[in-house]
Every structure is written in C-alpha cells, then in structure tokens.
Amino acid sequence: MDNKISLLELVGSGQLIKTGSKPKLPIQVPNVTDGMLDVYRIPLEYLYYNDENGRIASAISRQDVKIDPALDSVNAEYNQMIEKMIIEDNPGKLNKTKKSIKVDGQKVFGYVLADGRVIDGNRRYTALRQLAKETGETFMFEAVVLPFTYESKTERAEIKRLELAIQMGTEERQAYDPVDLSVDIYQTVVVDQLISEADYSKEAKISKKEVSDRIETVLLMQDFLTFINARSTAFHIIKDTKLFTPLFELSKKLSRQFPKKGPIYEQTKITAFALLSKMLSVGDDTGRDIREYYKNILATDANNSFNESVEGSINDLQDKLEEKTINSATELRRALENTTQELREINSEYVRTMNRQNRGKNIDSFISDVKETLNSLKDMQKGDGLTGNLNFNNFSKDQINEVRESLIQINLISRELIEIYDDEI
C-alpha cells in the first residue's frame, strides 16, 4: 500500500489522544505487554479495512474483483466497496450500532495495526464512517494501536492469533457464518500457513476435529464449484444456495467411506454433486436428502452400480454446465433449468435405486435408524442443547420455541412407543 502512515509515529508526536482506557490482551503476544498499550482516538481517514479478515475476504470473493487495500486518501474505492458489503450483510445490526454510538459514544474499543489496518471493530468503524457522512460531524475510532505489520509473516501469525482470540475466543464471540469460518480456517492454515490446525483450534476455541473437518469441506466446496463451472473461490454461491451443511456432512461421510480416496471416491463425489444439483433445482431439503443418499446408497453395496447407472447422464449434465461460467446462485439455478432432461434421468435412477434399497431393509437397519436418532439427541445433550458451532445467541425466540416444541413431541411419542415395546416383552 502506497502513502503509508504510521500511527505509532503519530502517537510519538502527540497527534493521537489517549482515551484513558487500558486494554488487556486476550492472549499472550511475544514482546508485547498490556502495560505497553493504550486506547487512542484515531481519525477515520487514517484507517482502512482488513482484506485478510475472514468475513471481508468472503465478501470480496463475491465481487470477483482485485483491489489493493488503501487509505481513502490513496484510493477511496477500496474502503467504500467494503463498507457497502458490511452495510448489506446485516443492516439491522449496523443501524443498532450507529444508534448506540450516536447516543452513548463508542463503548467497545477496536484493534488496529500501526499502518491503520483495522483488525477488530469493522462494524463500529463502518458505523462511524456512516455517521460522519450523515451528520457532517467529526468522529474518531477508539482503538488499540498494535506494533505489528502484515509485511512480516511472523507478525501476521501473531495478528491472526490475536484476531481469533478477540473475535471468537470469548463467551461473547460473534456469530460466524459457517462458510466464512471454514474459508478463514483454510486460508490461514493451508494457504498462508500462518498457524497450525492446533493453534487455530486453541485460539478460536473450537475442536481440532472441527478445524480439520472444515478444511476438508472447503476442498469439497472447491470441487463442487468446479463441477458447476464456477470459480473455485466463488464461495458465496455455497452460502446463497445454503449448501454448506450438506457439503459439510458429505465431506465427513466420504472421508469415512473412502479414507484413502481413490477412483471410486472420485466417481462417488461427482455423483453426489449431481444429486445436490438435482435437489437444488427442485427445492428439496438438501440436508435430509443427502443423508438418505448416504445411508441407502453411498454406504452400501449399491454405490458402485448406482455410480455406473448415472455416469452418462452426469457427463451430459457437465457438458451443459460448461457452456457458461456460473457467477451466482441465480445463474446456477438458471443453468440447472436448462438441464431438465439430464436431471430427470439422474432422479429416475435415484428413485429406482432408493426404492430397491428400502424394500431390502431389514431389522438391523431399522435398529440402526433408531440408534442414529438417539445419537443425534446425545450430541445435543453434550452441547447443552446445541451441536457443532451453534450458539443460542444466533437463534430467534421463535426458533428456540420451535426446537423446544419438537423435543416435547419427541418426548411424548417416545413414551407411547415405550409402552408398545413393553407390551411385547
């Protein structure tokens, strides 16, 4: 970035004013102590958004543009573009933040690097930018100035650890979109190799297995995007089609079924992608249907024959998808409308195979279904009512009531079923 500034030099020359707050770092950082840091009131024009932030990087991928980070004085388009993304992402939360700042001032300080890169506090920074434009008044961003730079890979690793600890490592951590989180893990651990899977797990307070599972899911997302003829980084398509959960589940099931991968894994993966496309085109419950596919076909002896029976139709499907690059969920749905014949052929064979498999169900598979339901409830119990990375703060009251009512029904039905089985003993 050209025309660099140094907030530390501005601090040294007395141009930045302390607020009096003393920050306490959430983790230990080499060569930095709490006593060395203060919170300063920083002019907005000295700051710019962090393109390495997981949420922001995901939003940038939606635009398919290459724009270098810059202060407003160098290239105002950069901050304006990301500001617009943040506004559109959650206008309700942004308005709430704006109202709070307007009435009570900025209550929570952010973190910035010496060159003005905002590491934590993007929504607060955006709210202040908006208020400055709307009122014509001067607003300052209150933040800790960290003595780091992105030019050093070692310091980038420490910045990332600190960012994770601030944004995810506390009980009040922000709700992270699962696609954004997974891509951030992949970018940090695999692409940039800043920190290890174990380090990410520790700072973000998520299990090592979840970190590993999310990396595998990103690889599968990239393969799916390639399958539909989209950019392998167009992760917004996964987000907008709500395909993350089915792909996350599919990734785990494929790994379990084909631990060494190989040709059958590759063929099964492509078949699963075609089925996901079919489910998406008709508005099916992709999560439920992909579980049915795994249980009744993928994990059975019928998998190979099913792969072979739909191979020709899938090849024709891919040929049609390759006619035009897919850039959005809308374009994907439109492209799938032009593959009706191929999807119908795949679906017909899928229905035939599922019916054949269901007719052959036996007592063992019935018991397995019951145990699977039990395991799902046990997972909820272990997570104090939730599973995975979910947090009650992310639910509306209506959604909580909906889950509660379902659990009540499960309880009532279970009692009736227990009586039936008691009579048979």
Q: What 8-state DSSP symbol labels residue 32? A: B
Structure tokens at 86: 């943040």
Sequential pLDDT tens for the chain (425 residues): 555 789 999 999 999 999 998 888 877 777 777 777 899 999 999 999 998 887 888 777 777 777 788 899 999 999 999 999 889 888 998 999 999 999 999 999 999 999 999 999 999 999 999 999 999 999 999 999 998 888 888 888 988 988 888 877 554 455 678 999 999 999 999 999 999 999 999 988 899 999 999 999 999 999 999 999 999 999 999 999 999 999 999 999 999 999 999 999 999 999 999 999 999 998 877 888 888 999 999 999 999 999 999 999 999 999 999 999 999 999 999 999 999 999 999 999 999 998 888 776 666 677 877 888 888 898 889 888 888 778 888 888 888 999 999 999 999 999 989 988 888 88
Q: Which amino acid is at 331?
A: E
Q: Are strands 140-146 and 117-120 parallel, antiparallel or unpaired?
A: unpaired
As a whole number of angstroms, the distance between CA 97 and CA 131 comes to 11
Q: Taking Cα atoms as reference points, which of 34, 50, 38, 212 lies closest to residue 120?
A: 50
In the chain, DSSP finds a helix count (H) and a strand count (E) of 18, 6
Q: What 8-state DSSP symbol labels residue 230? A: B
Residue with tokens 């922000």: 174
As a whole number of angstroms, the distance between CA 336 and CA 232 comes to 18
Kindly list the strands in the beta sheet with 110-113, ordered across the sheet, starting from the edge strand earlier in the chain: 17-18, 39-43, 140-146, 110-113, 117-120, 48-49
Residue with tokens 């494929």: 254
Length of the chain: 425
Position 150 scores a pLDDT of: 83
Output phi, psi for 326, to 5 deg: -95, 125
CA-CA distances (angstroms) from residue 300 to 117, 286, 291, 293? 52, 20, 13, 10
Output phi, psi for 49, to 5 deg: -70, 155
Q: What is the dihedral of CA 312, 314, 315, 320, to 10 degrees?
A: 130
As a whole number of angstroms, the distance between CA 419 and CA 361 comes to 25
Per the CB < 8 A criterion, the answer to whether 231 and 225 are in contact is: yes
How would you classify residue 212: left for phi > 0, otherwise alpha for psi between -120 and 50, otherwise beta? Answer: alpha
Per the CB < 8 A criterion, the answer to whether 292 and 275 are in contact is: no
Question: What is 295-354 written as a DSSP string?
Answer: IIIITSTTHHHHHHHHHHHHHHHHHHHTTS-B-SHHHHHHHHHTTHHHHHHHHHHHHHHH
Query: Residue 124: which residues within 8 A CB-CB, separation 6 or more?
Result: 97, 101, 106, 108, 110, 141
Per the CB < 8 A criterion, the answer to whether 318 and 227 are in contact is: yes
Per the CB < 8 A criterion, the answer to whether 156 and 150 are in contact is: yes
